[in-house]
Structure 1
């Protein structure tokens, strides 16, 4: 991924993880930190919005089912505010990716849980298509 004139180099590796399962979010954060990412975590849509505005992450990994809203709507909102943001939705509900066909939600891809940080890292850095496309 190339650095833009408006983003510091560190922002290129900044990832926002949004999941109300704090244990999973913590494990994902550790894995992504090992891959060189600066990781921010949020447990709901409200905190995700605040973090996204303040920290301007390059990537977002968002659970589809959140306590104060849904990941599809959050992805759409974040994408509208920042079109360059790479967004991936995830869910334990394998049909959750069907909620918004294509990239209408603002997400580039959907992953059924469990998600694999190395596979997501490949997507974030090369744009390579993951094993499970957005449905």
Structure 2
């Protein structure tokens, strides 16, 4: 069955062009022209991805995104924001309210399709090469490693954090929670590279993709979101630490 994409924009010609290109690429497309209709369609149509313009009549795109992220049904649906403005603040605010990516108008057909494919791929395909990361305090026990079972192949464990790769869920300090697609990918990448300092450019390249046109503030916004969900004290993070002038590193110290 074709994946369904909801396109929300009040520019009729642009919507027709986007819909045509998506349909030619094999997607099913639903279109609406205002914020209220977008909220209704997001629930009734259950799209696999939403392309959402910021400037909409009635409820604007930012508020639509906020509301979708508050509701369980749409909390993790990938969202690409469209903006006609060159002001970087629009892009940052879009990420702050929960968008996974953004495209600035005018944009090319290939650029939009590449971003759509990348988000859908990350949303529906769990890693087939998942490895279990054991707690540091369990290492060095002298016991011979046993072959990984099905559960261990789909689970990353580091300190108080457990990541279910197949179910795309996490548990931190006994609390189950869901992450937006990009947050999940970023956290998984950080945990897989635990103890290694990763630059913002490395994170952009490996999590958002080599063709991503955003800047490093995208990484900072998503790290802040992760800290708010995972850290006991987000202002003094123990898991995702900043290495000044370089980037970020995931660490787990039992004493912390």
TM-score bracket for this pair, using the shorter chain length: 0.7 to 0.9
Q: What is the SS of the residue equivalent to 1:65?
A: coil
Q: Residue 25 of structure 1 aligns with which residue?
A: 15
- Larger RCO (CA within 8 A; separation ≥ 6): 1
Task: Measure how far apart 1:112 and its partner are.
Answer: 0.6
After TM superposition, list the pairs within 5 Å mapping 1:1-135 onto structure 2: 9-10=1-2, 13-81=3-71, 82-95=74-87, 96-98=90-92, 100=93, 103-115=95-107, 116-127=111-122, 129=208, 130-132=212-214, 134=218
2-side partners of 1:83 and 1:18: how far apart? 17
The structure with more radius of gyration: 2
Gaps of 5+ in 2: 123-206, 222-256
Task: Measure how far apart 1:69 and its partner are.
Answer: 2.2
Task: Measure how far apart 1:84 and its partner are.
Answer: 2.0
**What's the TM-score, normalizing by structure 2?**
0.44
Task: Measure how far apart 1:126 and its partner are.
Answer: 3.5
Assess if the C-alpha contact under 8 Å between 1:76 and 1:104 holds in 2.
no
Assess if the C-alpha contact under 8 Å between 2:80 and 2:102 holds in 1.
yes
Task: Measure how far apart 1:72 and its partner are.
Answer: 1.1
Name the Cα RMSD after superposition.
2.0
Q: Residue 6 of structure 1 aligns with which residue?
A: none
Assess if the C-alpha contact under 8 Å between 2:78 and 2:120 holds in 1.
no
2-side partners of 1:32 and 1:124: how far apart? 14
Gaps of 5+ in 1: 1-8
- How many pairs are equivalent? 123
**What's the TM-score, normalizing by structure 1?**
0.80
Task: Measure how far apart 1:32 and its partner are.
Answer: 0.6
Assess if the C-alpha contact under 8 Å between 2:34 and 2:56 holds in 1.
yes
Runs (4+) of structure 1 moved beyond 6 Å? Answer: none
Assess if the C-alpha contact under 8 Å between 2:48 and 2:120 holds in 1.
no
Task: Measure how far apart 1:27 and its partner are.
Answer: 0.4
